[in-house]
Amino acid sequence: MADSAQAQKLVYLVTGGCGFLGEHVVRMLLQREPRLGELRVFDRHLGPWLEELKTGPVRVTAIQGDVTEAHEVAAAVAGAHVVIHTAGLVDVFGRASPETIHEVNVQGTRNVIEACVQTGTRFLVYTSSMEVVGPNTKGHPFYRGNEDTLYEAVHRHPYPCSKALAERLVLEANGREVHGGLPLVTCALRPTGIYGEGHQIMRDFYRQGLRLGGWLFRAIPASVEHGRVYVGNVAWMHVLAARELERRAALMGGQVYFCYDGSPYKSYEDFNMEFLGPCGLQLVGARPLLPYWLLVFLAALNALLQWLLRPLVLYAPLLNPYTLAVANTTFTVSTDKAQRHFGYEPLFSWEDSRTRTILWVQAAGSSAQ
């Protein structure tokens, strides 16, 4: 992969390329990776928007496949220079079983690693998560922490457990010999809560507010800070890490990097209001309208109802014991490791990220009415 950009055109594979983050990674690669010769987009559900990408100079290959199927992954990876592995089940609402979450997030990642080793693909960037670190089950705050901050990562929920195990597999695979005799070089990127165009939870909050006459009701104290990062900057970090992984293999190989930008530290709800406010919603209450013990009770009731109703219907509200605990625990990062290791600087300012997100929410909301 060391040849100049003009000499050799590279093959990239993006797993989960039709997801919220994946689509931004796909579009960012097409816009900002000059060495790209072929872009393979691998996903269980292919988006219709892929067709519009096939008219450009880069060959875009849509591959409908399942990362839990090793042979499908191997076929997609074969011949790729770089794999950006974003595919995963992002479920903290109880929609999928713990077994399915593990199968996709862990076994799927194992399949990607083995495919790289068997076919000779040398560079793998994995989309991990802040959740690999925390918040932990003890509710310990992680305040302006970085990749070296000591923190007791204790998980019980299937999602963070699966992300932590998958990340460990990726980092441990760094240095393994791939077909052809050269070493595999891996790194893992840990986004905090991603926001931006395509964020379905933000859209759900907006629609919930519209249904409630333009009001949202505060459930979390404003003092609880939650780190957020704009999807375009997360995509850019993936593109840059993939580009630099060869040249800086000794430094970057086996490393983790938090994803960060200039988005402000706010509570999850106050941060959402940066976009929902300009769209006409108002957050009621300077402090939570309900006592925490009542929220805990309501979250537990939701979990019980989900369990009772599961044979009949999927009941998966935003409020459950896990989401309440995460929302109610400060988790913010302050780091420059990605800048120091591979020259990352956010591509989108906070103001630009905010404007783009507002425009998207307005469009998504109008399509809901």
Structure tokens at 204: 């759900």
Chosen from ligand LYMKJE3O, ligand NAI, none, partner binding at 135 (C-beta under 5 to 8 Å by type): none
Structure tokens at 261: 């930008």
Select which of 126, 143, 151, 159 is catalytic.
159
Residue with tokens 């009621």: 284
Chosen from ligand LYMKJE3O, ligand NAI, none, partner binding at 134 (C-beta under 5 to 8 Å by type): none
> If you write DSSP's letter for every residue of 239-274 in order, what string do you get?
HHHHHHTTTTHHHHTTEEEEE--SPPPB-HHHHHHH
Chosen from ligand NAI, ligand LYMKJE3O, none, partner binding at 127 (C-beta under 5 to 8 Å by type): ligand NAI
Structure tokens at 322: 């896990």
> Could you tell me if residue 144 is left (phi over 0), alpha (psi between -120 and 50 degrees) or otherwise beta?
left
Find the binding residues for ligand NAI in span 31-70 (CB under 6 A). 43-45, 66-68
Judge whether 293 and 324 are in contact, CB under 8 Å: no
Pairwise CA distance, residues 203 & 218, whole Å? 17
Length of the chain: 369
Pairwise CA distance, residues 109 & 127, whole Å? 10
Residue nearest to ligand NAI (CB): 19
Contact between 328 and ligand NAI (CB under 6 A)? no
> Is 131 or 274 the residue whose CB approaches ligand LYMKJE3O more closely?
131
Contact between 87 and ligand LYMKJE3O (CB under 6 A)? no
Smallest gap from Cβ 311 to ligand NAI, in A, equals 24
HEC secondary structure over 59-99? EEEEEECCCCCHHHHHHHHCCCCEEEECCCCCCCCCCCCHH
Chosen from ligand LYMKJE3O, ligand NAI, none, partner binding at 94 (C-beta under 5 to 8 Å by type): none
Active site (annotated) includes residue 257: no
Site string for ligand LYMKJE3O, 294-323 (x = CB under 6 A): ------------------------xx---x
> Is 81 or 226 the residue whose CB approaches ligand LYMKJE3O more closely?
226
Query: Under rule CB under 6 A, how many of the chain's residues touch ligand NAI?
Result: 25
Smallest gap from Cβ 327 to ligand LYMKJE3O, in A, equals 4
Find the binding residues for ligand LYMKJE3O in span 201-230 (CB under 6 A). 201, 219-220
> Is 35 or 108 the residue whose CB approaches ligand NAI more closely?
108
> Could you tell me if residue 239 is left (phi over 0), alpha (psi between -120 and 50 degrees) or otherwise beta?
alpha
Find the binding residues for ligand LYMKJE3O in span 248-277 (CB under 6 A). 268-269
Smallest gap from Cβ 349 to ligand LYMKJE3O, in A, equals 21
> Is 60 or 276 the residue whose CB approaches ligand LYMKJE3O more closely?
276
Smallest gap from Cβ 261 to ligand NAI, in A, equals 13
Contact between 109 and ligand LYMKJE3O (CB under 6 A)? no
Contact between 127 and ligand NAI (CB under 6 A)? yes
Structure tokens at 223: 């003092």
Task: Using the Cα atoms of residue 152, residue 157, residue 158 and residue 159 in order, give the sign of their dihedral.
Answer: negative
Q: CA nearest 232: which of 275, 262, 200, 201?
A: 262
Q: Dihedral (C-alpha) 73, 109, 126, 14: value to the nearest 10 degrees?
A: 20
DSSP strand pairing (10-15 vs 82-85): parallel
- 224 Cβ contact list (under 8 Å, min separation 6): 267, 268, 327, 328, 329, 330
Contact between 90 and ligand NAI (CB under 6 A)? yes
Helices marked H in the chain — which ranges?
Answer: 20-32, 70-77, 98-102, 108-119, 158-173, 200-211, 231-244, 249-252, 268-276, 292-309, 321-327, 337-342, 350-368
Catalytic machinery residues: 159
Binding site for ligand NAI (CB under 6 A): 16, 18-22, 43-45, 66-68, 86-90, 104, 108, 127, 129, 163, 191, 193-194
Binding site for ligand LYMKJE3O (CB under 6 A): 90, 92, 129-131, 193, 201, 219-220, 268-269, 318-319, 323-324, 326-327
